[in-house]
Amino acid sequence: MKAKSFAAPSSKKPLEYYEFERREPKSTDVEIDIHYCGVCHSDIHTAKGEWGEVAYPCVPGHEIVGIVTRVGKSVKHFKPGDRVGVGCMVGSCGTCEACKKGYENSCFNETVWTYSSKDPVDGTDTKGGYSTLIVVPEHFVLHLPKSLDMAQAAPLLCAGITTYSPLRHWKIGKNMKVGIIGLGGLGHMGVKYAKKMGAEVWVITSSKAKEKAAKAYGAKGIIVSTSKEDLARAAHTFDFLLDTIPSGHDVTPYLSLLNVHGTLCLVGPIEPMPGFHSGMVINGQKSIAGSGIGGIKETQEMLDYSAKYNILPEIEVIQIQDINKAWDALIGKKMSKRYVIDMKKSFPQK
């Protein structure tokens, strides 16, 4: 099956039009006509080879929503016409302790990522949602609640679960003070979820100009990370900090904001980080932790929660022909919301 897409031909070149063949669905597979795909900073890191070597052409995209067109004979929970989503992964071993506990994203053997991973069926490089169709094992396909707008739902498959999962794990709720570090695609979702869970939410950002947006999303206010006065006023007051900055950085200024037993959770940077003095966590029994997306069961829970409380990302819909401009905006930190590609308008049927 021929798929139309945009792909990175190398780590140094902009994305360009690319056609490729998708494999035919197996008995447990679901074929999906992609309607929308969110744009994640991870797409940029991967395509530019910043997280290791990848096979080119690289077709990114792991915030996928669409309509089921075909299902394999053994598929039990989906049928043609269903509205569905696909997130960051399309496979795992299914037998290790992590998988059996529902943490397929932490598979002890090998998680199969939606793009730039090895498809265990035919050994080819997986290709993601910057394309017109995709074939995914049933277990890794998610039901999209009827009330969710498809375009707005797309970023939930990564930005949504990446922020929802740690907030749930650390039991964020009333009488807690939460700081969201960074107000991009991840950060603004973190604000919305933490606010709905009952916490007092603040945004910690290098940009004073983002104060209006932060408050509109539900934050009580902002702390400017470059202001010594702001940091001093907020010292020792936060129970939980969600760090969404997408690259390596010094966490020392943020550790000073934590209260006794507070936790700083990294969800943005996936690379070596500068060191810190151990006294900053020993004093006060503070923790530095990490979290990455969530398992399939929890991702479905997040979609249902988002539908129940109408928690959706702020988006700007684009056509794929503008993807390189969108990437430039993300790199330049010019977005406090999420780009979403309209695949049907990008590749209109003739």
The three-class DSSP label of residue 261 is strand
Residue 212: what are its φ and ψ, rounded to 5°? -60, -45
Across the chain, mean pLDDT equals 95
307, 157 Cβ separation under 8 angstroms: no
Residue 17 tokens read as 């039009």
Residues belonging to the chain: 350
Instruction: Evaluate if residue 117 carries a pLDDT over 80.
Output: yes
Instruction: Evaluate if residue 350 carries a pLDDT over 80.
Output: no
Question: HSE (CB half, 13 Å, CA atoms) of 3?
Answer: 24
Cβ neighbors of 187 (< 8 A, separation 6 or more) are 163, 180, 181, 203, 205, 242, 244, 336
**Residue 221: strand pairing partners:** 202
Q: Where are the domains of the chain?
A: 2-158+294-346, 160-290
Whole-angstrom distance, CA of residue 327 vs CA of residue 41: 8
Cβ neighbors of 253 (< 8 A, separation 6 or more) are 225, 231
Question: HSE (CB half, 13 Å, CA atoms) of 146?
Answer: 1
Whole-angstrom distance, CA of residue 104 vs CA of residue 329: 32
238, 262 Cβ separation under 8 angstroms: yes
Mean pLDDT of 288-299: 97
Paired sense of beta strands 177-181 and 238-243, if any: parallel
Please name which of 101, 313, 340 lies closest in space to residue 216, comparing C-alpha atoms: 313
Kindly give the interhelix angle for 159-169 and 185-196, rounded to the nearest 10 degrees.
40
Q: What is the DSSP letter of 130?
A: S
Cα separations (Å) of 143 from 19, 64, 67, 87, 131?
Answer: 28, 12, 10, 12, 20
Residue 347 tokens read as 């590749």
CATH 3.90.1150.10 fits 160-290, yes or no: no
- The one-letter amino acid code at 272 reads P
Whole-angstrom distance, CA of residue 310 vs CA of residue 323: 28
Mean pLDDT of 318-343: 90
Paired sense of beta strands 287-290 and 258-266, if any: parallel
Mean pLDDT of 16-39: 97
Cβ-based neighbour number of residue 268 at 10 Å: 21
Instruction: Evaluate if residue 333 carries a pLDDT over 80.
Output: no
Span 236-283, pLDDT tens digits:
999 999 999 988 999 999 999 999 999 999 999 888 899 999 999 999
Residue 155 tokens read as 């970023």
Residue 99: what are its φ and ψ, rounded to 5°? -65, -45
pTM recorded for the entire structure = 0.94
- CA triplet 216, 221, 227: central angle to 5 degrees? 130
Q: Is 231 exposed, middle or buried (0-12, 13-18, 19+ CB in 10 A)?
A: middle
Residue 207 tokens read as 């940009």
Range list of H helices, the chain = 41-47, 97-100, 150-153, 159-169, 185-196, 211-217, 228-233, 252-255, 279-282, 296-309, 323-331, 343-346
CATH number of the structural domain 2-158+294-346: 3.90.180.10
Cβ-based neighbour number of residue 220 at 10 Å: 14
Cβ-based neighbour number of residue 234 at 10 Å: 18
Span 65-83, pLDDT tens digits:
999 999 999 999 999 999 9
Q: Give 336's pLDDT tier (boundaries 50, 70, 90).
A: low
Q: What is the DSSP letter of 112?
A: E
Span 127-170, pLDDT tens digits:
999 999 999 999 999 999 999 999 999 999 999 999 999 999 99
